[in-house]
């Protein structure tokens, strides 16, 4: 964190500049005050980012549900996220994106409150 030199152009606050992930942002509103990696040198190389394997695994959710109570079970979103984090070796944000995508393509059916079921013969949703 560094001292504010002038008011934030976004909110006008005299808050300190907070450095997050290579850029400086207003400590009050979070507006971007210093572009990402400004002033970086040759020694500052980008870190490779791990990605999720984009290969389609048609049976992944069936296997996950089998471990979480069976093909006809209703599974909470939190349990499903945790199982995906473990299975895919990813973080919760990516797991939520996978669940959202599975819901969009019809693999998962949302069930109130905050649960999911498999669509299809096994889940019969």
CB 72 within 8 A of CB 66: no
pLDDT given at position 47: 56
CB 80 within 8 A of CB 122: no
pLDDT in tens, the chain (125 residues): 555 467 777 677 777 888 877 778 887 777 777 777 655 555 555 555 555 555 567 788 999 999 999 989 999 999 999 999 998 888 999 999 999 988 888 899 999 788 999 987 544 44
pLDDT given at position 77: 92
pLDDT given at position 4: 46
Cβ count near 45 (within 10 Å):
8
pLDDT given at position 55: 58
Is residue 99 left, alpha or beta, with left meaning phi > 0 and alpha meaning psi from -120 to 50? alpha
Note if the bond before 113 is cis, omega within 30 degrees: yes
- pTM to 2 decimal places: 0.52
pLDDT given at position 121: 57
């Amino acid at each position: 964190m560094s001292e504010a030199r002038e008011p934030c152009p976004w909110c006008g606050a005299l808050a300190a500049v907070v450095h997050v992930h290579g850029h400086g942002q207003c400590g009050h509103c979070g507006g971007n005050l210093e572009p990402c990696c400004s002033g970086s040198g040759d020694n500052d190389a980008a870190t490779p980012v791990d990605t999720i394997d984009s290969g389609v695994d048609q049976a992944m959710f069936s296997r996950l549900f089998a471990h979480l109570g069976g093909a006809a079970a209703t599974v909470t979103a939190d349990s499903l996220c945790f199982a995906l984090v473990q299975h895919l070796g990813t973080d919760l944000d990516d797991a939520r994106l996978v669940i959202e995508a599975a819901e969009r393509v019809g693999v998962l059916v949302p069930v109130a409150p905050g649960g999911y079921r498999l669509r299809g013969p096994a889940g019969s949703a």
